[in-house]
Structure 1
Amino acid sequence: MRPRSFHPTIIYLLFWCLLWSCRQHQTETVAEKSTSSATGYKVIAIKDGDTIELLKDGKPVRVRLLGVDAPEKNQDYGTIARQFTSDLCFGKMVNLVVDGNDRYGRTVGTIILPDGRTLNNELVRNGYAWHYKAYSRDKTLAQLEIEARQNHRGLWEKRNPVAPWEFRKSRRTSNNSDKTVAQNIPRPSDAARKVYICASEGATTYHLSKTCSVLKRCKAGIETVTRGTAVMNRQRTACKICAKPA
């Protein structure tokens, strides 16, 4: 019995049907990936290392990262931690896993970055935040802090960095005495003038020039304030290299 043969036209049509089916599948797969990557919320502001703002339903939502505590803005590594967070997520679409709300009304949760990493974990892993043990028993965060300490990453390059909760406590204790001292310091004649200060706890001077050789050695971040604030609120004296008392 002779084998049954197919007309070339039929084979041609079958080939194009198969090709069209494959292309359609690829198009649907790409569309699914595109939709998936567009989900989540856009990061519209970085308040500090552990606090960001998302745009949700057209409104800003402030999020405090769960289980971590980054240095305060005017603390060593505060500015650097904030920049680290900004580099990872500012302007990007992220996912939020909500845990609850804190006493200030902020949403507390975990931020999932576009590449699948967790912002909370990355801060601790790279030495820009502590595992906030008072509010978290997360074993992953605990281990990441141990590894960051052992490898002297970020703020752990210092021998005894001050934890943010201890820093806040000391600030609250000294606030009243600072106000008393400030009242006895004469107001500079050019109090509104912009000056620059190092955010380090041990810094005691202010600078008129941002390019001052002394200021360039600052690793904690540079703040721009008025001369009145530097002198009366921060008890800073003029740098002998770039500034002179009014």
Structure 2
Amino acid sequence: MQVDEISRAETFDATTAHAVDLPRILTGTAYVTDGDTIRIQNTQVRLFGIDAPELHHPYGKKAKWAMVRLCKGHCIRAEITDEDEHGRTVAKCFLPDGRDLSEELVKQGLAIDWPRYSGGKYKHLEVAGRRKKLWLADARQKGRLHVWEKFDARRKDEHDK
């Protein structure tokens, strides 16, 4: 595991002579947290542009294990694009053969495009009817967090019985 030569450092754009912040690249083994979050070199990385179910939501464990199967035994390349509102590193993550992890999970029907962040990059790959199955992720994207709260409360009530 190493950080590529390109690190988050200031350099100058030759045409404009303005400082440019180069992207940071992480490479290494990925520890999978859930369907859209991995850890590389002790850095928690949120996959760019998609939303996968939380572990305790329907299809959450399937999404995590699909990501484990994709990453297992591979050196993952994470091209850091941003930091989200929760302070997590956001990155476009790739397998050694160049496949985009976000794209692969959407194609498997275990994540949906998050247009607010992706610009719709993965929308065309969504499996038909998947937003209905991943309704909690869809509700989050639409700002309907009361749906999550209701689901979590019902689940807690069932667990307490």
* Alignment correspondent of 1:184: none
Does the 8 A contact of 2:36 with 2:47 survive in 1?
yes
Distance 1:76 1:121 in 2: 20
Normalised by the length of structure 1, the TM-score is 0.48
| Number of equivalent positions | 133
Distance 1:159 1:173 in 2: 17
Instruction: Quickly say closer, same or farther: Cα 1:174–1:113, change in 2 above 3 A.
Output: closer
1:109 Cα offset (Å): 1.0
Question: Which has the larger helix fraction?
Answer: 1
Instruction: Quickly say closer, same or farther: Cα 1:130–1:54, change in 2 above 3 A.
Output: same
Instruction: Quickly say closer, same or farther: Cα 1:40–1:105, change in 2 above 3 A.
Output: closer
Distance 2:148 2:26 in 1: 37
Q: Summarize deviations over 1:139-193 as a string: whole Å, max 9, x none.
A: 3x11111xx21xx6xxx3x965414152681233677xx4xxxxxxxxxxxxxxx
RMSD (Å), alpha carbons: 2.8
Normalised by the length of structure 2, the TM-score is 0.70
**2:37 pairs with 1:51:** yes
Structure 2 residue matching 1:134: 3-state secondary structure: helix
Identical aligned residues as a percent: 31
1:45 Cα offset (Å): 1.5
Distance 2:71 2:157 in 1: 32
> Which structure has the greater CA radius of gyration?
1
Distance 2:136 2:150 in 1: 16
1:127 Cα offset (Å): 0.5
* Alignment correspondent of 1:136: 118
Which residues of structure 2 form unaligned runs of 5+?
1-24
Does the 8 A contact of 1:100 with 1:107 survive in 2?
yes
* Alignment correspondent of 1:235: 158
Q: Which runs of 4+ in 1 moved over 6 A?
A: none
2:139 maps to which of 152, 162, 166: 166
* Alignment correspondent of 1:71: 53
**2:65 pairs with 1:83:** yes
Instruction: Quickly say closer, same or farther: Cα 1:106–1:126, change in 2 above 3 A.
Output: same
Instruction: Quickly say closer, same or farther: Cα 1:49–1:43, change in 2 above 3 A.
Output: same
1:135 Cα offset (Å): 2.0
Which residues of structure 1 form unaligned runs of 5+?
1-38, 179-200, 205-232, 239-246
Opposite residue 125 of structure 1, the aligned amino acid is K
Structure 2 residue matching 1:105: 3-state secondary structure: coil
